[in-house]
Amino acid sequence: MIEADFALFNVDELVTVAPGCHAEARGDLGVIARGALAAQGTDIVWVGPMDELHDAVRLTPDATVVNTHGRTVLPGFVDPHTHPVFAGDRAADFYRRALNDEGYLDQLESGGIMATVKATREKSEDALLDLAYQRADVFLRYGTTSIQAKTGYGLTKNDELKCLRVLNRLQHLHVLKIVPAFLGAHVVPSDYGDNADAYVEGLTSDWLPAAQPHAQFVDVWCDEGAFTERQCRRVMRAAQDLGLRLTAHANEMGYGPGVRLAVEMRSSSVDHVVYLDDDDIEALVKGDTVAVLLPGTTFALASDVYAPARRLIDAGATVALGTDFNPGTSYTQNMQLILTLAVLKLGMSPEEAITAATVHAARAIGLDGRVGSLEPGKYCDFSIYCVGSYREIPYHYGMNLVESVVACGEVVVREGQMVTVPFPLARSS
Ligand SMILES: [Zn+2]
């Protein structure tokens, strides 16, 4: 008998995203009809059909028992691309794009990211932590239990380190699992004018060593309007020398070398990847780098050019999905809506979209051993949806269908409301 202090039962569709985890699992998503799950401490210890729970698991006298009354359960979403540390808003940019008055590259020159940078520099670390904490609550309420979170709105050494400290403090204060990524190479701040090389020099020789103990990933943006291949390669090499993992924003604004560079540098992921030629796709298929697609950004840019998801998947590349939550180009934390966009705009099946938002996203941020599927040995992180089948989640769009969320074996959202839980619970690694 397996001992457990938490049990979930009476689940119409338990979507494990762990094919082969149980003899009765069906489909690519490892769906168990009339399913149940048990956990001890922070980790799952058993998953299977409800009628086997009683014989397989002995519950402790004080165990938490959750009856879903026939709902659908998914692993907590893993959002592999978010920018949650910022101040101010860019609503005006959004409305000007909507009216087709300006494109994103025009806005990059006239203000864009730098408007957020200015507002973020003006805020204290505590004030930014307050904002980020509230945003972390929203991620959870929408069913996301792990995120990769980037800096990138400081763009001075002190301000980038301030934003990184916000993420580190949040890791210890909040149940949301947070993987910090240092994005000093977001754009060249306007204070540097045309002198991008000087910026990259300071970033690689001075800022990165200072950031190293506090970050897990280093991110670069290789694209028109951001950094060149040569500059990105320099930052990536310096990051690797410090033992940090890589991720990249690339090929969002146009064709270019970013995707191939990311694969060559063995980056864990390369994100956006809207403009891809055949060589880019071949590189992704042959390499170990996950392609993270961010259809919410394309949508909010009022663009019709979405990432070529079908070409990627059909060729055999590993595809993940994220929100790109940020104030300029994708102001949503709702992964359920991203699933809808993946189905409608990227041509993905609901099964492909859910896999991309869970196990593949976990791989993109280096957490695939611990999160992204419901199976013994992983964190007990899942969401209960008020629908009878996972197929209703992309279809019933623009809603928050999450009723309750469990993270590390504790109920953290109940009937849509945050529950206060004892700390510390969650650790991202
Ligand atoms: Zn981004």
Say yes or no to pLDDT of 338 above 50: yes
DSSP string over 3-33: EEEEEEEEEEEEE---TTSSTT-BTTTTEEE
What's the pLDDT tens digit per position in 217-269? 999 999 988 999 999 999 999 999 999 999 999 999 999 999 999 999 999 99
Q: Which domains does the chain have, with CATH numbers?
A: 2-75+373-418 (2.30.40.10), 77-364 (3.20.20.140)
d(CA 403, ligand 1 centre) in Å: 28
What is the rounded average pLDDT of the residues 421-427? Answer: 55
pTM, 2 dp: 0.96
Say yes or no to pLDDT of 49 above 60: yes
What is the reported pLDDT for 224?
A: 87
Mean model confidence pLDDT for the chain: 94
> What pLDDT band is residue 164 in, cutting at 50, 70 and 90?
very high
Provide the token pair at 53.
């729970």
d(CA 320, ligand 1 centre) in Å: 14
Identity at 240, one-letter amino acid code: Q
> What pLDDT band is residue 153 in, cutting at 50, 70 and 90?
very high
Q: What percent of the chain has pLDDT over 70?
A: 95
Q: Cα dihedral angle (359, 362, 364, 369), rounded to 10 degrees?
A: -100
d(CA 249, ligand 1 centre) in Å: 6
d(CA 91, ligand 1 centre) in Å: 17
Say yes or no to pLDDT of 205 above 60: yes
> What pLDDT band is residue 429 in, cutting at 50, 70 and 90?
very low
Say yes or no to pLDDT of 360 above 80: yes
> What pLDDT band is residue 103 in, cutting at 50, 70 and 90?
confident
What's the pLDDT tens digit per position in 20-43? 655 455 558 999 999 999 999 999
Residue 378's closest CA among 17, 14, 13?
A: 17
d(CA 294, ligand 1 centre) in Å: 9
d(CA 81, ligand 1 centre) in Å: 6
d(CA 83, ligand 1 centre) in Å: 7
What is the reported pLDDT for 426?
A: 44
d(CA 273, ligand 1 centre) in Å: 11
What's the pLDDT tens digit per position in 165-199? 999 999 999 999 999 999 999 999 888 888 999 99
Alpha carbon 122 to chain centroid distance?
Answer: 27
What's the pLDDT tens digit per position in 367-418? 999 999 999 999 999 999 999 999 999 999 999 999 999 999 999 999 989 9
What is the reported pLDDT for 425?
A: 55
d(CA 76, ligand 1 centre) in Å: 21
What is the reported pLDDT for 322?
A: 98
Distance CA 340, CA 378 (A): 27
